[in-house]
Amino acid sequence: MTGRRLKHIGIGLVFLILQLVLFRHLTIFEAYPDLVLIFLVWYMSKENRTAALLMGASLGFLQDALLDVWGLNMFSKTLLIYIVHRFIPKDHKTQLSVGQVVITVALAALFHNLIFLGLNIFIQNYTAETLFGAYLLGSSLYSAIVAALFYMFRTNK
Which amino acid is residue 108, in one-letter code?
A
Half-sphere exposure in the Cβ direction for 57 (13 Å, CA): 8
Instruction: Please report whether residue 157 resides in a domain.
Output: no
Task: For residue 129, tell me if it sits in a domain.
Answer: yes
Determine the structural domain holding residue 31 and report its residue range.
Answer: 3-152
pLDDT digits (tens, 9 = 90+) for 45-72: 888 999 999 999 999 999 988 887 778 8
> Is 25 part of any domain?
yes
Q: What is the pTM for the complete model shown?
A: 0.85
Do 84 and 111 form a contact (C-beta atoms < 8 A)? Answer: yes
Q: What are phi and psi of 18, to 5 degrees?
A: -60, -40
pLDDT at 77: 93
Examine residue 91 and state whether it is found in any structural domain, yes or no.
yes
CA gap 132, 128 in Å, rounded: 5
> For the domain that residue 35 is a member of, what is the CATH number?
1.10.1760
Q: Which residues of the chain have pLDDT under 50?
A: 127-128
48 Rama sector, left if φ>0, alpha if ψ -120 to 50, beta otherwise: beta
Q: In the prediction, which pLDDT does 118 show?
A: 82
pLDDT the model gives residue 68? 78
Q: Based on the structure, what is the number of domains in the chain?
A: 1
Task: Give me the DSSP letters along the chain.
Answer: --HHHHHHHHHHHHHHHHHHHTGGG--BTTB---HHHHHHHHHHHHS-HHHHHHHHHHHHHHHHHHHT-TTHHHHHHHHHHHHHGGGSPP--SSPPPHHHHHHHHHHHHHHHHHHHHHHHHHHT-S-HHHHHHIIIIIHHHHHHHHHHHHHHT----
Residue 144 lies in a domain: yes
* 140 in a structural domain: yes
Residue 13 lies in a domain: yes
User: What pLDDT does residue 124 have?
Assistant: 66
Query: What pLDDT is recorded for position 128?
Result: 47
